[in-house]
Chains A and B, each alone.
Chain A
Amino acid sequence: MSEAVAISESEAARVKSHLRVYVMVFVALAVLTVVTVAISYLHLPTALAITVAMVVATVKATLVAGYFMHLLSEEKVILWLLVLCAAFLVFLFALPLGTETGNGPLWPQ
């Protein structure tokens, strides 16, 4: 037999208090999307354009992960798991630095 667990009143009230935040996050995401596109029409120098676009994308990703995925109030085990994952990701991105790419194009001239 599996146990039936009803949703408690306090849990329902806790979720209800978050609804406004979800809508605010959604509006922020939509605005930031428009901002990214608008900035791209300014034709900034490549390095600056990449930096700005990635900063805006990171802010958006943080909003999604923090609020929609509840990471801000998540248990420590999940956060440590993601810290470990982030360490591997940094290593992965550092790998290309050790290739010949830094010295010249991949394609033979």
Chain B
Amino acid sequence: MSEIVIPYRTEPHPLTGVTSGKLGIWLFLASEVMLFGALFSSYVLLRVGAAEGTWPTGVEAGLNVPIGTFNTLVLITSSITMVMSWASLKMGNPGAFKRYMGATIALGMLFLVVKGFEYSGKFHHGIFPATGWPGASDPSTFYGFYFTITGLHALHVFLGILVNIWLLVWGLALYKTEPERFAGRVEISGLYWHFVDLVWIFLFPLLYLL
């Protein structure tokens, strides 16, 4: 029985100079740029178009700047542990890969837990996506935007964690037989993870600080 092998998994395609997986993830990330771009573009439209006094700053809306700052640092730290996990594989050290990948997963989870506390704090104060500002029934789309884009971002973090758990627990077996191919998988997961970090880098000042 013949096995169908997807070409250019580990060696670069002669036309593009990159592996099929890397081209694939970058195409996906380009579509993600447009997905989040549409929401950022909506933000500009909604904020500029908001009637006087209906668009709060993050502090006025009750967002906690120290907590947001903490979560930003958590994501940034998870980005360096992610790149270190990949570098460890490239340097032939699967033990260090496990530690760094474990740390990346833990930091991702910490981000979601903190975000969860922020959400539940809002819900306890009766603030939901349809809640207005400054009064609950005033016309403001701030909370609608806040919950939509941070929710979509949190979903991305969650999916990244799942992929990283898979790589750590089940995926690593491939390293014994095809180390370069497994390192490629970790690099691809890392590209996605850094992109999610990158989105937050813009989200944090827009929502919390301005």
B37 near A33 with CB under 8 A, answer no
In the complex, the answer to whether B177 meets A18 with C-beta atoms within 8 Å is: no
Chain A 35-80 residues near chain B, CB threshold 8 A? 36-37, 40, 46, 49-50, 53-54, 56-57, 60-61, 64-65, 68-69, 74-78
A1's closest neighbor in chain B, by CB? B3
Nearest A residue to B22, CB-CB: A78
Complex interface residues of chain A between 15 and 33 (CB less than 8 A to chain B): 15-16, 18-19, 22-23, 25-26, 29-30, 33
Q: Across the interface, name the chain B residue whose C-beta is closest to A26.
A: B80
Indicate if the CB atoms of A69 and B178 lie closer than 8 Å. Answer: no
* Smallest CB separation, B178 vs chain A (Å): 5
Decide yes or no whether B120 CB sits under 8 A from chain A. Answer: no
- A69 with B205: in contact, given A76-B17, A85-B33 (CB under 8 Å)? no
Q: Which one of A6, A65, A88, A99 contacts B198 once the chains associate, using CB atoms below 8 Å?
A: A65
Number of interface residues of B (CB under 8 A): 65
Q: From residue 150 to 195 of chain B, which have CB atoms closer than 8 A to chain A?
A: 177-181, 183, 190-191, 194-195
Asked if A68 meets B83 with Cβ closer than 8 Å, knowing A7-B92, A7-B180, A93-B37, the reply is yes
19 contacts between A and B (CB under 8 A): A5-B11, A5-B179, A5-B181, A16-B87, A26-B77, A37-B65, A37-B209, A46-B210, A49-B209, A53-B205, A53-B206, A64-B194, A64-B197, A65-B198, A68-B83, A68-B197, A78-B26, A84-B30, A107-B51
**Which residues of B are at the interface with A, using a C-beta cutoff of 8 A?**
3, 5, 9-12, 16-18, 22-23, 26-27, 30, 33-34, 37-38, 40-41, 44-46, 48-52, 54, 65, 69, 72-73, 76-77, 79-80, 82-84, 87, 89-92, 139, 177-181, 183, 190-191, 194-195, 197-198, 201-202, 204-206, 209-210
